[in-house]
Structure 1
Amino acid sequence: MTPIDDDAPPLNPAESLALIERERRNVGRDLSPDPRVMFWPWGIAWLVGFAFFFLRFGPDGRVFVDMPQWLPLAVLPVLMIVAGIVTGIAGSRVSGRVSGPSNRQGIMYGISWSIAFTGFSILFAQFSQLLPEEKSGLLWAGGMVALTGALHMAGGAVWNDRDLFVLGAWTSLINIVGILIGPGWHSLIVAVAGGGGMIAAGIVGWVRMR
């Protein structure tokens, strides 16, 4: 008689542990957003947006591409809004399948981003007019990038996500280098190393999920 499933011999301890681990990873993939969707929109936004700033507001006031001053000021925020919408939709689809502490952590973390960026924007708006134009731009760009790096590291610590923490540390490091070198170069460094770092983080996360 052909044995049915109930007649199958029980798994030995090693096979049982391997099965449990395999299923745990499958569940983790199902409940985790695609890293490419979470990082690539922001990476592209930084790469393109800060590249516009470098081309229009280069080092020592140099203009590499003659474009209206308002264009870089509009391109970067628009790209960041689009990135926020894309990642917000992707994150909400996953959080809808999760309840409990993890879901609350994600919501509180997202609120922290909004409140922190709003507070920094209000603060910088109070002082940016007192600075020369290039220093004012560096204040806004350097401050926002610094906040992004810090929040990434905080998220990595909360979820024990080494890749996210490393991305935050890398973002903070290249931001410090850019600030020290000065206006213009900061935009180029953040565009290439910051935006490129996020794109690389999406690739690494996707490969690990597979």
Structure 2
Amino acid sequence: MTNTRRRHGIPQYQTPDQIRGEQFRRRLRGLDPTEVFAYLDLLADQVEDTAQDLSTSRAENERLQGELRRTGAELQRVQGELQRVQAELDEYEQAGDRVNEQIVQLFSEAQLVAEEMVQDVSRDARERIGQARAHERRIVEEAMDTAGQQVRSYAQSAQLRMQSIVDSFGSEIEQLGGETAPGEPGRHQKDAWFDDMSDWQVRLRNERRPDAPGRA
């Protein structure tokens, strides 16, 4: 019994089982069938191993292709993210430059405002100090005027009271001087206490004069 498949022409893929079941026509002085079938079994095993390796390689290839596709998609996503980040960095740099310029401008304006405020405060402080000093002078002058008036009023009252007392003492002294016994000092004799009283009378009369020194 022979295999109906042709050995020549278009080659067909042979599975390991087909190789093992291959049959050949027998002729005189043909090959040893045992060796032929042993060789076919070896060849079938090799084909089977090759088919398994090929299947494994195809599966690995498909896995790698899928991984490559996923990696490519991830790479595109990462590239897009990098482009977005780069664009944001460029925008941040531009914004940073603008912010730096604004900061410098604001600092300059703040410094000018601070200088103006210091000048205003100094000017206002000088004005307030001047006003305080003028107010102080007015208060002192008013106090001195008030005190002077009170002192003058008190001095006038004291002078009047002292004058009354001195006049009374003078009258009594004159009376006592008229009644002096013989051998005692008379009314015209000098006495230190009477001289002091006379000086007080003169001073009080002079101070009561409108044109006396020290009267306003």
TM above 0.5, one fold? Answer: no
TM-score when normalising by structure 1: 0.28
TM-score when normalising by structure 2: 0.27
Q: Which has the higher contact order (CA 8 A, sep 6+)?
A: 1
